[in-house]
């Protein structure tokens, strides 16, 4: 490998992982070393301070980031996360993953990610609104409907996007729907955006089922009952899967005979958590992952499957709803044990695919029916899955390596024809 320039400003656990993945794939692809060097660095990384007057009237200053990894294939795209672990390195790694994800599924975008280090659950709605509006004002320099388009991620939702869209629009003297995706329907959101990631996971599983085992009757465990996990759980339950375990931040529940997801949703609407759902055993989030099942869906946060628990995972398929839920050490253990891992950049791409549809609809002020959205989503997920599956078979490798090879190859091709600068 040629001498690579220092990237130590971005040093973090996740960024190191992202670089190791890129370097490994670059070697397999026999990538031009100059393009490889370019891909290891984000194009821009903005660090901002976000002062917020809290309900107590005191000012608290939060640290915010927006990182754009590559603009070679188009404007940048990626979510915004509110989480206590957010740091520059993590956001940069996630921006890089977004580049590979968008390229893999054929969207005309580069990757970006944003984040604010905070604990959104400990803040009031007013505090979160002030934080969002001030953060938006601070990153206004680098976002725009044809520059960089944020979306929800961990700890943010439709309401966050409505505040961002409103704050940006106020500075333009007009409404700019294309500035963010994942907005509420009434202000230019897309039908099916909220369900998109969960639906995409199920479409990926349909294809995996053709090669491995039929979905009906499979025992499923879902870690995380938010936007991604709850939708996937409901759809898989309707497909005839037996949902044996579910968790959220407060804890997990288990019933080897299956959990009625419609009743669970009612329980969550009433109590705010899956915990305490009648007829289930309580279990911790960590224990949940190791329970007997066929399909494990980590849809919460990063690094949940690691060197210390990977050999106790019972599932034969792990489908990654979260970004980076499996550490590289765990990846090797799972691969050696014959577990099929459907990687994040493929499995959870449904979110950014329907974000793309929302952006296109917003730019044209013309909105599609939900059935059109789901048909097109299924087409893209099916094509991407089968391309990755075929490449993995051809290369004799796992699905993550194949997905990364396909994503990185496409971004690299953009640099080959354009030059190294975008």
From the CB of 348, what's the least distance to ligand GLU, in Å? 6
From the CB of 90, what's the least distance to ligand GLU, in Å? 13
From the CB of 136, what's the least distance to ligand GLU, in Å? 15
Q: How far, in Å, CA of 310 to CA of 303, rounded? A: 11
Closer by beta carbon to ligand GLU, 222 or else 345: 345
| Active-site residue, selected from the candidate residues 57, 113, 183, 250 | 113
Q: Using N-to-C axis directions, what is the helix angle for 229-238 and 196-211, rounded to 10°? A: 50
From the CB of 258, what's the least distance to ligand GLU, in Å? 30
User: Comparing C-alpha atoms, which of 28, 370, 317 is closest to residue 195?
Assistant: 370
Closer by beta carbon to ligand GLU, 138 or else 320: 320
Closer by beta carbon to ligand GLU, 78 or else 188: 78
Closer by beta carbon to ligand GLU, 99 or else 355: 355
Closer by beta carbon to ligand GLU, 160 or else 280: 160
Q: Which residues of 65-80 are buried (b: 16+ CB within 10 A; e: fewer)?
A: bbbbbbbbbebbbbbb
Closer by beta carbon to ligand GLU, 106 or else 282: 106
Closer by beta carbon to ligand GLU, 39 or else 196: 196
* Cα distances (Å, whole numbers) of residue 60 to 55, 56, 251: 10, 10, 30
Q: How far, in Å, CA of 98 to CA of 120, rounded? A: 23
SS3 state of residue 341: strand
Q: How far, in Å, CA of 53 to CA of 134, rounded? A: 10
77 catalytic per annotation = no
Rg of the chain on CA atoms, in Å: 21
Side-chain-side CA neighbours of residue 131 (13 Å): 29
Q: How far, in Å, CA of 110 to CA of 96, rounded? A: 9
From the CB of 370, what's the least distance to ligand GLU, in Å? 17
From the CB of 219, what's the least distance to ligand GLU, in Å? 27
Sheet with 242-248: strands ordered across = 281-283, 251-254, 242-248, 219-223, 295-298, 317-319, 340-342
Q: Are 329 and 16 in contact (CB under 8 A)?
A: no
Chain residues that interact with ligand GLU, rule: CB under 6 A:
77-79, 151, 153, 181, 323, 348, 351-352, 355
Contacts for 197 with CB less than 8 Å, ≥ 6 apart = 227, 228, 231, 232, 321, 348, 350, 351
Closer by beta carbon to ligand GLU, 239 or else 368: 368
User: Comparing C-alpha atoms, which of 119, 44, 130, 122 is closest to residue 82?
Assistant: 119
User: Comparing C-alpha atoms, which of 190, 264, 212 is closest to residue 233?
Assistant: 264
Closest CB to ligand GLU: residue number: 79
Q: What is the largest CA-CA distance in the chain?
A: 61
SS3 state of residue 394: helix
From the CB of 318, what's the least distance to ligand GLU, in Å? 18
From the CB of 100, what's the least distance to ligand GLU, in Å? 11
Q: Are 108 and 34 in contact (CB under 8 A)?
A: no
Annotated active-site positions, please?
A: 113
């Amino acid at each position: 490998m040629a001498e690579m320039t220092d990237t130590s400003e971005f040093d973090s656990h996740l960024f190191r992982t992202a670089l190791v993945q890129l370097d490994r794939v670059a070697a397999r692809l026999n990538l031009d070393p100059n393009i490889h060097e370019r891909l290891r660095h984000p194009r821009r990384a903005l660090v901002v301070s976000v002062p917020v007057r809290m309900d107590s009237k005191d000012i608290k200053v939060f640290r915010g980031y927006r990182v754009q990894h590559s603009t070679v294939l188009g404007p940048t795209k990626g979510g915004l996360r509110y989480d206590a672990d957010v740091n520059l390195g993590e956001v940069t790694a996630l921006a890089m993953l977004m580049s590979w994800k968008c390229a893999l599924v054929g969207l005309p975008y580069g990757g970006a990610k944003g984040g604010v280090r905070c604990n959104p659950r400990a803040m009031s709605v007013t505090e979160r609104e002030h934080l969002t509006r001030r953060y938006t004002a601070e990153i206004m320099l680098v976002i725009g409907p044809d520059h960089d388009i944020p979306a929800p991620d961990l700890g943010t939702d439709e309401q966050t996007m409505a505040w961002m869209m409103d704050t940006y629009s106020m500075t333009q003297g007009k409404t700019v729907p294309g500035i963010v995706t994942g907005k509420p329907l009434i202000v230019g959101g897309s039908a099916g955006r909220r369900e998109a990631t969960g639906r995409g996971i199920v479409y990926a599983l349909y294809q995996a089922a053709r090669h491995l085992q039929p979905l009906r009757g499979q025992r499923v465990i879902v870690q995380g009952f938010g936007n991604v996990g709850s939708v996937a759980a409901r759809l898989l339950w309707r497909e005839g899967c037996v949902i044996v375990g579910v968790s959220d931040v407060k804890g997990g529940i288990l019933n080897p005979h299956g959990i009625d997801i419609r009743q669970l949703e009612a329980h969550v609407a009433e109590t705010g958590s899956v915990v305490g759902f009648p007829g289930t055993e309580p279990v911790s989030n960590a224990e949940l992952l190791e329970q007997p099942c066929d399909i494990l869906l980590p849809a919460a946060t990063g690094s949940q499957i690691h060197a210390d628990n990977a050999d106790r995972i019972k599932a034969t398929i792990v489908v990654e709803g979260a970004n980076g839920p499996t550490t590289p050490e765990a990846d090797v253990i799972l691969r050696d044990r014959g577990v099929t891992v459907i990687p994040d950049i493929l499995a959870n791409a449904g979110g950014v695919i329907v974000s793309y549809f929302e952006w296109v609809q917003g730019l044209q002020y013309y909105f599609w029916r939900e059935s059109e959205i789901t048909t097109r989503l299924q087409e893209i997920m099916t094509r991407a899955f089968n391309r990755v599956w075929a490449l993995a078979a051809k290369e004799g490798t796992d699905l993550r390596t194949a997905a990364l090879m396909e994503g990185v190859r496409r971004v690299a091709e953009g640099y080959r024809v354009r030059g190294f600068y975008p």
